[in-house]
Every structure is written in structure tokens, then in C-alpha cells.
Amino acid sequence: MFENLTYLALQQYWWFIVSVLGAVFVFLTFVQGGQTLAPMLGKTKMEKKMLYNAIGRKWDLTFTTIVTFGGAFFASFPLFYSTSFGGAYWVWILILFSFIIQAVSYESRTKAGNLLGEKTFNVFLFI
């Protein structure tokens, strides 16, 4: 299937894949960004819990999308990947670290006997 494509066609194909993954990542990030409004939108504790549970189901898809985006960038354009991701290394580390904090917060905020308490995990979700 791909053996008959020219080099230019393959580049355009990869740009399309990377563009779609980037657009999906940005969209999911903005959808997930609604978690900062959860303390203000929920009036009762039950409403806040329902909001966090509704948003919490989507964090893994956003994380998977950013990892796939990075992998597709590396596979298709290694020189561009090394320049752009190398220059913004600390930014990408902060983004990945914030995803890890969010994942732990979603899973641990209402567990019985957690050491930090529900308010601490809610602050982590606000960040």
C-alpha cells in the first residue's frame, strides 16, 4: 500500500497524522481544563463529586494522546522532534508531571485513609 507513495506523499501523510493527534490533544486538554471550575460549579459536595467523577474518566485518553503525538513526531520527523522537544524539555516534563499528579489525584482523592486528604488532591486537580 505505501510502497507506491512518493517521499512527498509520505511526508504529507505523516503531517496529517501528527496534525490530527495535536488537534485531539489540544481539544482534550481544554475539555479536561474544566476541572478547575468544578469547585465553583458544584454547589453541594455531591455535585462536586459527580463533576470530578465525570471529568476523571477522561484523563487517561489525554495522556495517551500526548504520548502517541510524541511517538508519531519521533517516527516521522526525528530532526524536528529533537530540536523542538529538546528545546522545550522542561515544559514537556512539567506537562507529563502534571498528568501524573492528576491521575493520582483522581484515583486517591476519596479513598479511605489517604494521608494527604481530599482537599490536597482537589488543589492538585486545580493545578
Using CA atoms, how far apart are residues 106 and 52, in angstroms rounded to an integer?
Answer: 8
Which residues, including other chains, have CB under 8 Å from residue 6's CB and lie 6 or more apart?
Answer: none
pLDDT recorded at residue 34 = 64
Residue percentage of the chain with pLDDT more than 90? 3
The verdict on pTM exceeding 0.95 is no
| Mean pLDDT, the chain, whole residue set | 78
Neighbours of 64 (CB within 10 A): 12
Q: What are the pLDDT digits (tens) for 39-77?
A: 677 778 788 777 777 776 666 777 788 888 888 888 888
Q: What are the pLDDT digits (tens) for 18-47?
A: 899 889 888 887 776 666 666 677 778 788
Using CA atoms, how far apart are residues 35 and 41, in angstroms rounded to an integer?
Answer: 10
